[in-house]
Amino acid sequence: MLPRLSFLLGLICLAIGIFGKTILPDRNESFSFLLGGLTLGGSFIICWIFSIKNYWHGIVGSGIVALLGFCRTMVNLPNWAEWIAHPAPKPPATPMLEMIVAILTFCYMILIVRSLFAERLRKMLANEQD
């Protein structure tokens, strides 16, 4: 289940990067948003490829990528509050897209941590039975 989520999260991050590129008017800002989406999404897809042969290597790698993606989006937390408080004609919705990425990466990170704890418990119980 987790490798599929890693692939899906990679595709979502790629789509958010492309969508952010299309809605941002400034060329430099739009390309940096696209680059971030391609980097994060591509990293999740690479971790999915690793998890095909070495399950836990890919899962732990995607958990680290999720942590990095979450921390990177949390840097812009003050911009989110400013964007939400902005009056009716709002500027481009990139803070909202960053919020979506932050929520998705945080939820995925929690799933990874829970699966690692479950695996540790499974191994401890298996060692007790031996």
**Total domain count, the chain:** 1
First to last CA, the chain: 28
Range of the domain at 125: 2-129
Report residue 45 as tokens: 């897809």
pTM: 0.87
Helix residue ranges, H only, 1-54: 2-23, 27-53
pLDDT of the chain, 130 residues: tens digit per residue? 888 999 999 999 999 999 988 888 778 878 888 999 999 999 999 999 999 999 999 999 999 999 999 999 888 888 777 777 777 666 667 788 888 999 999 999 999 999 999 999 999 999 988 7
